[in-house]
Amino acid sequence: MALDLLYRHNVRLAREHKEVIALSELLQKAPLHAQEKRRNNFREPHGVAKKIDNLLLAVESKHGYGVSNADKAAVSDYPESRKEELAALANSLRASFISQDGIDELPDDEVFIEGNWLTVQHRKRDHRLRKRLLSKLRGRELRCEMCDVSPPPLDREFQESRYEAHHRIPLSEAEHERESRVADMALLCACCHRTLHKMISQYRRWVSVDEGRRLVSLAL
C-alpha cells in the first residue's frame, strides 16, 4: 500500500500528508500483528512516510546500495509498469482491513494470496445482494452463468438454495462505490462459484466468469 501511494504521487510524502495519516490509521487497525507485540510507535505516520522514502530509493537506485532486500523485492515484483495491478491489490487490502469479518475466518478459496498479501475478500457483501438478485429473477428460469446448468424441477426455494451471487469485477475496482449493485452480480451455482474462487486462488489473479467458463470448457 505504501508503494501504491508512491506510484500515485511520484514524490516523497510528508508524515502530515492526509493519505499517509490515513494509511497509518488503517495499518494500526489491521489485525496482522498482535497488540501486545506492538511498540508505541507502531505504524505511525512517520514510519509510513519513511517506508515511502525507502521505496522511492529502491525505485531510483540503479545498484541497490542502501536499499533493504524487502524494499527491493517489492519494487521488483511491482515495478511502475504494474502500478494499476498494484492499485487493485492495495484497494483489496484496504477492503479486507475495513471489513468487520475476521481475516482468519475466511477459507482459502474465498481469497487469493500474492506472496504474503491478502488481496480479495468479497464474501461479506454478498448476502443481501444475493437475496436481491434472486428476487429480481423471480418468475424466470434460474441458470448458472458459468456452466449454463439449470436446477432440477424442485420447489423454487430449493432451486434458489443451489445458487450464489458472485461479483463480476473485484471489489477493489468498485471500492469507491458506496454499495455494489445487483447488476454487478453474477448468478452462479455453488459448484461453479467455489471453482471460480479456486481458480483465483490458484492463478493468484482475478478470473472473470467468462474466463472461468472458457477454462472449464477447454478442460471438457
Nearest 5°: the CA angle 48, 51, 54 is 155
Within 8 A by CB and 6+ apart from 191, the residues are 147
Using CB atoms within 10 Å of the CB of residue 134, give its burial: 0 to 12 exposed, 13 to 18 middle, 19+ buried.
Answer: buried
The whole-number pLDDT of residue 217 equals: 83
> For 103-161, how does the pLDDT look when each residue is reduced to its tens digit (9 = 90+)?
333 343 334 333 333 333 444 455 667 888 888 888 899 999 999 888 888 888 888 98
> Residue 2 above 60 pLDDT?
yes
Mean pLDDT of 192-204: 83
Contact 121, 38 (CB under 8 A): no
> Residue 197 above 70 pLDDT?
yes
In whole angstroms, give the CA distance from residue 217 to residue 220. Answer: 5
* Banded model confidence at residue 3, pLDDT cuts 50, 70, 90: very high
> For 35-92, how does the pLDDT look when each residue is reduced to its tens digit (9 = 90+)?
777 788 888 999 999 999 999 999 988 666 778 888 998 899 889 998 888 887 777 6
The whole-number pLDDT of residue 190 equals: 87
Q: Flag whether the pTM goes above 0.85.
A: no
The whole-number pLDDT of residue 173 equals: 54
> Residue 21 above 70 pLDDT?
yes
The whole-number pLDDT of residue 180 equals: 57
> What DSSP designation does 176 have?
T
* Banded model confidence at residue 202, pLDDT cuts 50, 70, 90: confident
The whole-number pLDDT of residue 210 equals: 92
